[in-house]
Every structure is written in C-alpha cells, then in structure tokens.
Amino acid sequence: MFLGAGALGWLFVGRVLSGLSAGIFTGTATAAIVDLAPECGKKRASLIAAAVNMGGLGAGPLLAGILAQYAPLPLTLCFIVDLVLVVVAVVGVQVVSEPVRRAGTLRLRPQKIDVPTEMRGVFTRAAIAGFAGFAVLGLFTAVCPAFLATVLHDTSHALTGALVLSVFIASTIGQSLSSLIGDQRALIVGCVGLIAGMVAVGASLPLHSLAVLIVGAIIAGLGQGLSFRAGLAAVTGAAPPGKRGEITSSYFVMLYIGISIPVIGEGAAATAFGLIIAGMVFAALVAIVAAVTLVLLVRRADHLRDPNVAEGCQR
C-alpha cells in the first residue's frame, strides 16, 4: 500500500494494515520468546523481547531517514527494504517451534482486555508507566521532525532518524539496567527519568535548543526503558502460562494507545496554539502521568515494607 499509494487515503489504509499486523504479532511474539525460554532464563527472555521491540522501533526511523536523505527513490526504497526484512522474518517464524499447544479449533477473533483479578494491581501500575513512556516515543517519532524543521530550520531526514534513534538506544540501555536493580526499583527510577526527561524536553522548545532536546530525549529514553522492561517482566511473570499471550497483548494495547492517541491531541493543539506551546503542555501532561505512577509505586513499596503486612505474608 505504501509503495503504490498515490493519494492520502491509501496511506491511511497502509497505516491501518501495518498497525493491525503489528498489534497481532507484537504481544504474541513477546509471549513466545518468554515461553520458549527455560525456567531459569525467563527474565533474560523478557529483556530480549523488550530490546527487540525498542530496537526495531528505533532502527526503522534511522534507516528510513538515511535512505531518504542519501539514497535514490527516497519515497519508496525504505518500504522495499522493509518488505525484504518481512520475508526474512516469515522464514524465521516458520522454523520456530510452537511453544503453546491449544486444544480445539483455532478461531481468530478480537479479544477484550481481560486481566485476572489477582494481578490487576501489577498490571495497572505497569500499564500506566508504560503508557507514559510510549507517549514519549510517540512525541519523538511524530513531532520531532516538525520541531527540527519549524523551530531549528533543519530538514535533514538523517538527523531526524538519529534523534529518534537516540531515544531508543537510551531505552535499550535502560532495559539492560532494569535487570540489575529489580523490577520494582526499575519502575520507580524509570518514572523519575520520565519526569526529568519531559522537563528537559519541555524546556528545549522555548529555548530553541537542540542540545537540551537531545539531553531530554536520552533521559526520557532511559526512564522509558527502565519502566517498560520492568513492567513487561512484572506482567509476564505474574500472568498464568495459559493466558500469557492474551495478557501480554492487553499490556501492549495500553502501550500503543500511549504511542498514538496522545500524539493526535498534540497535533491538534499544535495547529490551534502553535508547536512550542503544544509541546510544552504535552511534556507536562506526560510528566504528570509518570508522577501519578510514581506515587502509586512508592505507596505500594511502603505497604510491602509494613511489618504487619510482612508478618501476614510470612503466615
């Protein structure tokens, strides 16, 4: 659709199809990686799953930016390259064994977001933190090109891709660090990073400063990586094996709402009030959501440290 699109409507069709396919396989592939790992390697598998998700999201804009800036066929070559990568992925999936066997006839149908009662607290805290983090990714993937072109007067596609990639590289580093400090602490530190990064991003707009924007991108990316990987590990770890794919997909639904819906509001606000004001408000709202999650996490940690709670758990 992207290759043959001659009008805006066909671009929307391509976006719907690509988004639908990503929604189908992202949560399922993440669950499959965890299911295929031995018991002793579940945490490492969740790190790998998180890293490949962020790695793909970051490498795509950089590759597309470089091809559009320096290679021929700037509007089509990136899609040709992506189709080749899809073929490689299809071959890879065919040689991977199915980790979960289900009885009965396979039926493809939409599923509602259904999280078991016993893990809704874990899911809610992880999902809110993930929503805030992915809203940051949506801001950089959708709005940064406009900021660079309109405010800094730099239209380089390669620079845009590199700036987006810096967020995802920082995210991958944050994911690696999360396994060293534990899921609960990683979620808390990740929310702090999101708040600090959004303060820097918001400040970079009126300052017209690329350096401050990059610093904010890196800090926010670290925070997003910490919270995303810790949240994913908490959700997959608490999910019953038979429902891991379903619950993981529900988690990713919340993340992709975060990466898409807020950006639409940002675009509408930019049209009405200007890019700088809209960007500052967007950064402030993401920081507020991260702060709310931080409060919930700290209260949960204090609750678990309560001697009465600890004694009850031991009993």
Q: What is the predicted pLDDT for the residue at 189? A: 94
pLDDT of amino acid 47: 79
List % helix, strand, coil for the chain (3-state, nearest 5). Answer: 85, 0, 15
The DSSP 8-state label assigned to residue 3 in this structure reads T
Contact 32, 26 (CB under 8 A): no
CA atoms within 13 A on the CB side of 132: 36
pLDDT digits (tens, 9 = 90+) for 101-131: 766 676 767 666 778 888 888 898 899 999 9
Give the residue among 13, 78, 17, 25 at the shortest CA–CA distance from 49.
25
3-state secondary structure (DSSP) of residue 116? coil
Closest CA to 220 of 204, 244, 243: 204
Residues of the chain where predicted confidence (pLDDT) is lower than 70 = 102-104, 106, 108, 110-112, 302-315
pTM assigned to the model: 0.76
State the architecture of 8-91+116-314 in CATH terms.
Up-down Bundle (1.20)
Read off the amino acid at residue 225: G
Nearest Cα residue to 18 out of 35, 31, 5, 7: 5
pLDDT in tens, 194-227: 999 999 999 998 998 889 999 999 999 999 999 9
